[in-house]
């Protein structure tokens, strides 16, 4: 059976009506170029994955503020084991532990998952200990070098960066990093998918790293025990369903003047009208807006012509090192009809629904980016960034940002013609409205701007991510999920449920054994108490005892000996019970994969 191929299509305006006005006019319009990846794949393409794990001191903090256990690092270890077990035998994985430098003793090379690879990597993960500060650059350089130095580069390479801290050595952002800085070229070699844990991580830095490398950024500020493994599952499902790499879309027109191409978070390839798309997962869809203009002739009423509209085609590889594949060119014609009317139509180029939808999305992206920039200015002016402490951005600044976003969003809905046009074209954009409202609520709660950064990341790359928004408000970003992603998330939830069941079973067994051991000590104590109770309370004075001479109380002497023997025996029984308890805990941990709750 021939495998499915990447497809390209173009959506444009319906026929344009003009009036007989005896002079030329310029028409402006827009089209959408859609790239669709196959919904299924022939077989799993092996991958090389390098996971960067930030083990700074704050990773030892509780994952939830109201509990002592587990720590963030405990949750990370559990989630990493899920990833390790879901990778295929032909995949390879490297673990790179870092704080302000790479921790070599907790770092591996790129190892085969098959054979003993899984066990060796899991042992490395189990050995991670939180300590030190945070710096991203050394670990990123190490990851790129690992992938660059591979002898076999026929696998797609990916990098995952997980952190709950702030980079104390390097500032990240387009306004800070010069265009010629080598770090930009370094990050563009392989996609880096970033995950921020807790409300004190740096969403701006993690979003920048992900965006420039064609990765995505996920923000997980609460409910870490569920959301973190879900975020990793989304990412892993994409890695396991790669159907195209080095994808590029070429866009051209013989009759129209292409004035602008809006690629979202993707990069335009010079002035050739191409968009660098990179990696495509099975079932993904990418939409790009093409703006064009056309100068009409001085035509009389009833004149009709058909223009060659937008042409698009894609070039890609099914895997690194393979031969490039080029799709057929998709061409859409543009009919023009000059109407016999003295009144021009209100809109000679009415928006096509698919075009209108993408225009609104990109406008909302621009709005959110402007809010983030204003928030950054406020933050710098107030000098209120909190470094190395739980709490993240100043809650007062977040409240200001919430009011700013609320005001700008209200103004946008009242003034933007595309937004107002959507209902008339049967487009439901309510999910976006709900998401913006949820962002305002999160900012008012002081949970940080990570939800905005991750939402922007998702829409820039048109790829599913975890935004930190409440589940009821995932309507918009959830649309980028593929069937494989949904399946992997369900598997993660099953794993969590299984572990919770095992935890309950383990806790029940532990409680039962604890009662048995304590009962054994109590029984020994009761026996000694009974022996003490059965002794006569005192000796009667002897009839031959001389006055002034006391006879020793034999019962008291015996009771003293018994007390000393009891203390020694209870000590030995308790010591034996403790040893039995420790041995039992070790066996429980081996059986259930964890110790009991404290």
Same domain, residue pair 99 and 208: yes
> Do residue 416 and residue 288 come from a single domain?
no
Decide if 32 is inside a domain.
yes
* The predicted structure's pLDDT at residue 66: 55
Residue 346: strand pairing partners: none
Rg (CA), the chain: 34
Residues of the chain above pLDDT 90, percent: 50
Q: Is there a contact between 259 and 271 (Cβ–Cβ < 8 Å)?
A: no
Domain boundary among 451, 481, 511: 481
Last residue of some domain: 481, 497, 521?
481
Residues 6+ apart with CB under 8 A from 369: 456
Q: What is the pLDDT of residue 388?
A: 39
Closest CA to 59 of 160, 118, 131: 131
Write out pLDDT tens, residues 14-73. 667 666 566 677 888 889 999 999 988 877 889 999 999 999 998 988 877 655 568 899
CATH number of the domain within which 275 lies: 2.60.40
399 and 271 in a common domain: no
pLDDT in tens, 163-184: 999 999 999 998 899 989 999 9
Residue where a domain stops, chosen among 459, 481, 503? 481
When pLDDT is cut at 50, 70 and 90, the band that residue 148 belongs to is very high
Determine the Cα–Cα distance for residues 85 and 53; give it in Å rounded to an integer: 18
What number of other Cβ atoms are within 10 A of residue 515's Cβ? 10
C-alpha separations of 377 from 215, 309, 365, 385, 397 in Å: 26, 43, 19, 12, 11
- Pairing between β-strand 192-197 and β-strand 156-163 as defined by DSSP bridges: parallel
- CATH code of the domain containing 218: 3.40.50.410
DSSP for residue 365? H
* 304 and 402 co-located in one domain: no
State the pTM of this model: 0.81
pLDDT at 129: 92
Helix (H, G, I), strand (E, B) or coil at 55: coil
* DSSP-assigned states of every residue in 134-163: --SHHHHHHHHHHHHT-S---SEEEEEEEE
304 with 272: CB under 8 angstroms?
no
Q: Which domain holds residue 21?
A: 7-41+243-348
Q: Per the domain annotation, does 547 fall within a domain?
A: no
Is the domain of 409 the same as that of 524? no
If asked whether residues 335 and 358 sit together in one domain, one would say no
- pLDDT higher at 404 or 584: 404
Task: Domain count for the chain, please give it.
Answer: 4
Rounded to an integer, the average pLDDT of 574-596 is 67
More confident residue, 73 or 565: 73
Q: What is the pLDDT of residue 468?
A: 83
Mean pLDDT of 187-209: 94
Q: In what order do the strands lie in the sheet with 285-295?
A: 7-11, 26-36, 285-295, 257-262
Burial of 23 (0-12, 13-18, 19+ CB in 10 A): exposed
294 and 212 assigned to the same domain: no
Residues 187 and 254 occupy one common structural domain: no
Q: What angle in degrees, to the nearest 10, is found between the helix axes of 483-534 and 554-592?
A: 170
Residue 369 pLDDT greater than 90, yes or no: yes
State percent of the chain over pLDDT 70: 82
Mean predicted lDDT score pLDDT of the chain? 84
Distance CA 367, CA 384 (A): 24
Query: What's residue 474's pLDDT?
Result: 47
Asked if residue 297 is part of any domain, the answer here is yes
User: CB atoms < 10 A from the CB of 257, how many?
Assistant: 12
For residues 285, 286, 291, 296, the Cα torsion angle rounded to the nearest 10 degrees is -30
Beta bridge mates, 10: 33
- Looking at the fold, whether 198 and 57 belong to one and the same domain comes out as yes
Q: Does some domain include residue 551?
A: no
Q: Is position 190 within any domain?
A: yes
Query: Do 477 and 495 reside in the same domain of the chain?
Result: no
**Residue 280: in which H helix or E strand, if any?**
strand 274-281
Average pLDDT for 248-252: 94
Report the b/e string of 408-429 with b at 16+ CB within 10 A: bbeebeeebebbebbeeeebeb
Task: Kindly state the DSSP code that residue 104 receives in the 8-state scheme.
Answer: G
Decide if 556 is inside a domain: no
351-365 confidence digits (pLDDT tens): 788 888 899 999 999
Least confident of 167-171, 469-473, 485-489: 469-473
Residues 165 and 49 in one domain: yes
Q: Give how far Cα 343 sits from Cα of 19, 303, 350, Å.
A: 7, 16, 16
Nearest residue to 139 via CA among 86, 78, 61, 205:
205
Residue 559 maps to a domain: no
| 306, β-bridge pairs | 335
Pairing of strands 330-339, 16-19: parallel
- CA 242 – CA 234 distance, rounded (Å): 13
Q: DSSP labels for 248-289?
A: EEEEE-SSSEEEEEE-TTSEEETTTTEEEEEEEETT-EEEEE
Cβ–Cβ under 8 Å, residues 239 and 485? no
DSSP 8-state class, residue 421: H
For range 102-106, the mean pLDDT:
94
Element at 418 (helix H, strand E): helix 417-421
Look at residue 207 and tell me if it is in a domain: yes
The SS3 assignment for 579 reads helix
More confident residue, 598 or 519: 519
Residues 472 and 406 in one domain: yes
């Amino acid at each position: 059976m021939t495998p499915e191929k990447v497809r390209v299509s173009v959506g444009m305006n319906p026929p344009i009506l003009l009036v007989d006005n005896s002079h030329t006019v310029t028409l402006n319009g827009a089209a959408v170029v859609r790239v669709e990846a196959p919904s299924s794949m022939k077989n799993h393409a092996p991958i090389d994955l390098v996971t960067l794990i930030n083990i700074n001191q704050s990773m030892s903090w509780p994952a939830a503020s109201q509990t002592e256990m587990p720590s963030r690092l405990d949750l990370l270890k559990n989630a990493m084991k899920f990833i390790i077990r879901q990778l295929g035998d032909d995949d390879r994985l490297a673990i790179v532990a870092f704080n302000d430098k790479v921790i070599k003793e907790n770092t591996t090379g790129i190892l085969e998952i098959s054979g003993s690879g899984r066990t060796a990597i899991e042992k490395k993960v189990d050995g991670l200990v939180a300590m030190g500060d945070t710096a991203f650059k050394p670990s990123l350089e190490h990851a790129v070098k690992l992938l660059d130095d591979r002898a076999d580069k026929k696998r797609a390479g990916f990098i995952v960066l997980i952190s709950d801290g702030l980079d104390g050595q390097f500032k990240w952002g387009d306004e800070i990093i010069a265009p010629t800085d080598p770090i930009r070229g370094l990050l563009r070699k392989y996609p880096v998918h970033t995950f921020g844990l807790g409300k004190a991580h740096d969403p701006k830095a993690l979003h920048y790293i992900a965006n420039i490398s064609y990765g995505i950024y996920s923000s997980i500020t609460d409910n870490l025990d569920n959301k973190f493994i879900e975020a990793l599952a989304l990412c892993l499902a994409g890695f396991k369903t790669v159907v195209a790499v080095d994808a590029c879309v070429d866009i051209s027109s013989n009759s129209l003047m292409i004035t602008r191409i809006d690629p979202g978070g993707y990069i335009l390839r010079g002035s050739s009208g191409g968009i660098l798309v990179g990696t495509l997962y099975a079932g993904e869809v990418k939409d790009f807006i093409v703006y064009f203009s056309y100068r009409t002739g001085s035509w009389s009423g009833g004149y009709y012509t058909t223009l060659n509209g937008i042409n698009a085609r894609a070039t890609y590889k099914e895997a690194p090192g393979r031969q490039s594949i080029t799709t057929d060119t998709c061409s859409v014609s543009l009919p023009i009809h000059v109407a016999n009317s003295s009144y021009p139509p209100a809109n000679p180029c009415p928006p096509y629904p698919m075009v209108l939808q993408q225009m609104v999305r990109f406008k909302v992206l621009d709005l959110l980016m402007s809010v983030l920039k204003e928030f950054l200015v406020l933050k710098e002016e107030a000098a209120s960034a909190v470094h190395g402490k739980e709490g993240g951005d100043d809650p007062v600044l977040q409240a200001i940002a919430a009011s700013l976003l609320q005001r700008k969003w209200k103004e946008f809905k009242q003034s933007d013609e595309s937004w107002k046009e959507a209902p008339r074209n049967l487009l439901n954009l309510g999910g976006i409205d709900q998401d913006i409202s949820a962002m305002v609520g999160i900012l008012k709660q002081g949970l940080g701007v990570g939800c905005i950064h991750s939402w922007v990341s998702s829409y820039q790359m048109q790829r599913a991510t975890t935004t930190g928004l409440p589940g009821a408000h995932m309507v918009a970003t959830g649309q980028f999920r593929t069937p494989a992603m949904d399946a992997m998330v369900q598997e993660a939830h099953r794993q969590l449920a299984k572990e919770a069941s095992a935890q309950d079973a383990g806790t029940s067994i532990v409680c039962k054994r604890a009662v048995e051991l304590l009962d054994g000590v109590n029984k020994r104590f009761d026996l000694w108490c009974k022996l003490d109770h059965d002794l006569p309370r005192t000796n009667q004075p002897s009839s031959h005892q001389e006055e002034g001479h006391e006879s020793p109380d034999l019962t008291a002497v015996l009771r003293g000996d018994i007390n000393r023997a009891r203390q020694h025996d209870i000590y030995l029984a308790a010591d034996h019970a403790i040893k039995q308890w420790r041995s039992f805990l070790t066996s429980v941990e081996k059986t259930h994969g964890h110790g009991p709750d404290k």
